[in-house]
Structure 1
Amino acid sequence: MLRIHFTSDDLARITLATGADPLWEVLLSSYRLRRKEGAVTFGPWKRDVVRRAGPEARVLSALAPLRGYAVDFLTPAGTGSSLSAGAEALRRTPRTRLRNDLAELARRHPGRPFPRWTRGLAEGAPEAVALVADAVTGYFATMLDPFWSRVEAQVDHDRSRRVRALTERGWEGVLATLHPSASWSYPVLELAFPADHDIHLDGRGLVLQPSFFCWGAPTTLLDTGLPPVLIYPVERDLNWLAPTRSTSQQALSALLGTTRARVLEAVAVSACTTTQLAQRIRTPLQTASHQAAVLREAGLITSRRHRNSVIHTATSLGRSLLNGRCGLTS
């Protein structure tokens, strides 16, 4: 569980990021490249770019293992939506930060071999720091830049929704709806997280950073002394890349029916309430509720009540069906 502790000053110092952060998207997309989660949403992108993954991706994977801690210095604060500013901030990373983060990485991944260049990086060697900065910019150019306008469009859409929520209900309304797991009771915001982690803002405020490649639970930095930031997943258009439906999608629609297939795909993106589900697939609330009930009876999704809402989650069977791994027999 992630707990973010606010003071009254912090509510006045919340900032909603102006757009997608290239460095956070580089880091989080490197996970999507290596993990199986999110196949429905990211599958077309992954199939397009995986053959182009080069040494830059290997540099990132050394600093961001498949599971667990990734070094905080890969995503410096205050660079906004500028890749060049982010890369320059990386090059200026203090030696103490490099050494501490790499020591933390080794401590949290005991026995894991690290490339030889990480020793120089821990000592602040300019050529090692340049290697990392160049890897980030090279990875972005190859893996993200061809799709960046679509990524930005998805993030901008989410930001517009948050601005409307802010106008209608204030920051408390925004915080309470950031994620299906969000629970806001002043002065603490609680969110799903892989481990217990507390951040005391102490008047520093909080940057809310929407992310396209963030999957599942929100994320943040480990070092609570760094400028506080909360990265949360946006609600994505499932057809963000492909103008036409794939053969597997067509087969799924034939099996379940078009609307139910869309409902299952939408729930698989991330857990959501019935209202959020209706918004994702652009259907009336009553229709979304009915189709969710049918999928629940079939064992493809589960539903649980949380306060005044019902939250839907895809089951392993539902995900297997979406990923084409379900061996159904007559």
Structure 2
Amino acid sequence: MLRIHFSDADLARVRIAAAPDPLWEVAASLQRLQSRRGRWAYAGWYRMARQQTRERGLGRVLRNVFLPLYPRAAYFPDFLTPSDSVGDWDAGLESILATPPRRVLEEVTILDRTVGAPAWAGHLARLEARKEFVGMLRAYHDAVIAPYEEQAQARIEAERAARARGLLDGGVEGMLSGLGPMLRWRPPVLEAVYPKQVGDRDLYLNGRGLTLIPSYFNWGEPVTFADPEMPPVLWYSLLHEPSPPDAPHGVDAPEKSLITLLGRARAVALRTASTGATTGEIARAAGVSASSASRHATVLREAGLITTIRNGPTVLHTLTPAGASLLRAVSPME
């Protein structure tokens, strides 16, 4: 169990990241390649990642460099996921390059003590070795993370919309109460399910606040920095819904679903979802029953035009990039 202790000053400094943390998504994606947990949610990505790493000649880098450095374990070095990389890939890479050699060696030693570090890992204390490593990160990111950036961004925007509703209804504490099954708000402590091998841990924010970072590729337990002196952040999993089995990468909208979409009720549903809407709000806007609104939302979701997340006892529907593009392209409804 991870217990994050808040003061009144910390509650005033809680924020939710507006964009993915690309270096964390790299780390979390490498965990997905090493685990079958939640594989159904990433089936399309998993197939694409294996194909791309093979076609781009990244198989050896994956096996010999990345997987040993980001093991499926309770720890990997903090310097690989710098705090200033949220929404800024290049800034994150620059932070890796600027990591003091002493810190690199300290964290590699922790890795070695925890699960065993590869023999070459200590060489990352040298700037030239880190430059080579950053080049590998760029190649991996371009191959398997970049194709999913829009989808991840759409999910994060949906998550922010859900948490904004919690904030409007119940303030910061209301927002913290709706973070999902792995997190529980027990004022003034946010409790998080944590890996059993780590054990119990207390993190005192001491007025620094907390940045919540929704993660597309993280699955299961939330994660924070091992070093309590680092800026307080908490990466937590977005809830996933199974993708349609015939939808490549889970985002392509079948042509027949787009034709079905042209009906009035679904067009209203799509427009209503543009600002975030519950099923009940779609029903009222379209003048249909709640069950009909739910069916319309299902069609839109399976077409890749909206995404749906649970927000307490209700669900919240928001547009995907494809849905937003379609809405911009069609003429206003009469």
Tell me the CA shift for residue 132 of structure 1. Answer: 2.5
- Taking structure 1 as reference, are residues 141 and 244 closer, same or farther at Cα in structure 2, changes over 3 Å only? closer
Question: Which SS does the other structure have where 1:180 is aligned?
Answer: coil
Tell me the CA shift for residue 98 of structure 1. Answer: 0.7
Q: State the alpha-carbon separation in 2 of the partners of residues 189 and 241 from structure 1.
A: 37
Tell me the CA shift for residue 13 of structure 1. Answer: 0.9
Q: Percent identity of the aligned residues? A: 34
User: Taking structure 1 as the reference length, what is the TM-score of the superposition?
Assistant: 0.70
1:243 aligns with 2:256: no
- Taking structure 1 as reference, are residues 120 and 71 closer, same or farther at Cα in structure 2, changes over 3 Å only? same
- Whether contact under 8 Å (1:17, 1:207) holds in the other structure is yes
Q: State the alpha-carbon separation in 2 of the partners of residues 80 and 193 from structure 1.
A: 22
Unaligned runs of 5+ in 1: 247-275, 288-307, 310-330
1:172 aligns with 2:184: no
1:20-59 superposed matches below 5 A: 20-53=20-53, 54=58, 55-58=60-63, 59=65
**Residues 167-217 of structure 1: CA deviation (Å, up to 9, x unaligned):** 221111121221213222222111110121211101111100000111011
Which one of the candidate residues 113, 118, 121 is aligned to 1:114? 118
Question: Which SS does the other structure have where 1:78 is aligned?
Answer: helix
Q: State the alpha-carbon separation in 2 of the partners of residues 242 and 147 from structure 1.
A: 17
Q: State the alpha-carbon separation in 1 of the partners of residues 28 and 172 from structure 2.
A: 26
Tell me the CA shift for residue 242 of structure 1. Answer: 5.2
Aligned Cα RMSD in Å? 2.5
Q: State the alpha-carbon separation in 2 of the partners of residues 96 and 244 from structure 1.
A: 45
- Taking structure 1 as reference, are residues 64 and 245 closer, same or farther at Cα in structure 2, changes over 3 Å only? closer
Counterpart for residue 78 of structure 1: 84
Q: State the alpha-carbon separation in 2 of the partners of residues 133 and 11 from structure 1.
A: 36
- Whether contact under 8 Å (1:21, 1:211) holds in the other structure is yes
Q: State the alpha-carbon separation in 2 of the partners of residues 93 and 240 from structure 1.
A: 43
Counterpart for residue 67 of structure 1: 73
Q: State the alpha-carbon separation in 1 of the partners of residues 212 and 194 from structure 2.
A: 16
Q: State the alpha-carbon separation in 2 of the partners of residues 104 and 16 from structure 1.
A: 30
User: Taking structure 2 as the reference length, what is the TM-score of the superposition?
Assistant: 0.69
1:187-266 superposed matches below 5 A: 187-194=188-195, 195-239=199-243, 243=247
Q: State the alpha-carbon separation in 2 of the partners of residues 180 and 155 from structure 1.
A: 17
Counterpart for residue 136 of structure 2: 135
1:7 aligns with 2:7: yes
Q: State the alpha-carbon separation in 2 of the partners of residues 113 and 64 from structure 1.
A: 10
Tell me the CA shift for residue 102 of structure 1. Answer: 0.6
- Whether contact under 8 Å (2:155, 2:238) holds in the other structure is yes
- Whether contact under 8 Å (1:6, 1:200) holds in the other structure is yes
Counterpart for residue 94 of structure 2: 88
Counterpart for residue 296 of structure 1: none
